[in-house]
Amino acid sequence: MKASVFPLIVVVVSLAIPAWAAERHMMQPRVSADKLAAARALTSPLPRSPEVVEQGKALYNGKGACSNCHGKDGGGNGPAAAKLDPAPRNFQHHGFWRHRTEGEIFWVIKNGSVGTGMVGFGGQLTDEEIWSIIPYMRSFAGAHGPGMMGHGKDMGPMMGPGGGMDGMGSCEGEGCP
């Protein structure tokens, strides 16, 4: 009986390591260390509304070309994703939203992320257009909630009421995340 438990333990451990590595990857900020504090302090000037979410959706799937890498559903599974290392961020994953502020997301969309396939779109999109994409991206997380207070050095502040996303979950009406 004991001999049959060992292969099971090996399988469980080998499956747990990739899951742990993916979560660790998810928590790593994409903003350079010297810009991180300034990026975290940025907040959206746009109102939380269904119109902003719809504008973001149109940009995400069109001019912004986000869906090419991140996928139509935000799962990091777009047509170009297989060629990228590291893989594009998965906006459906609760860890993505839990560990960063909207300012960090804005900064990466505008400036890109060194060491990844994420190029900066500051030359293609206005600041307002970038800000409008973020609430639409947030809608991919579904019922995972607005995030939690981060206390570790690699975690952003809370992204809900009173935090970085400043109550993104309070948008009401059709088209709101």
Please check whether residue 159 lies inside any domain of the structure: yes
Tens digit of pLDDT per residue, the chain (177 long)?
555 665 555 444 444 444 333 444 566 778 888 999 999 999 999 999 999 999 999 999 999 999 999 999 999 999 999 999 999 999 998 888 888 899 999 999 999 998 899 999 999 999 999 999 999 999 998 855 444 323 333 444 433 333 333 333 334 444 444
Please check whether residue 59 lies inside any domain of the structure: yes
> What are the backbone dihedrals phi and psi of residue 119, each rounded to the nearest 5 degrees, phi first?
-90, 160
Tell me, what CATH number does 64's domain have?
1.10.760.10
Please check whether residue 175 lies inside any domain of the structure: no
Q: What global pTM score does this model have?
A: 0.70
CA distance linking residue 1 with residue 6, whole number of Å: 10
Please check whether residue 67 lies inside any domain of the structure: yes
Number of domains in the chain: 1
Please check whether residue 145 lies inside any domain of the structure: yes
Q: 77 lies in which domain range?
A: 2-170
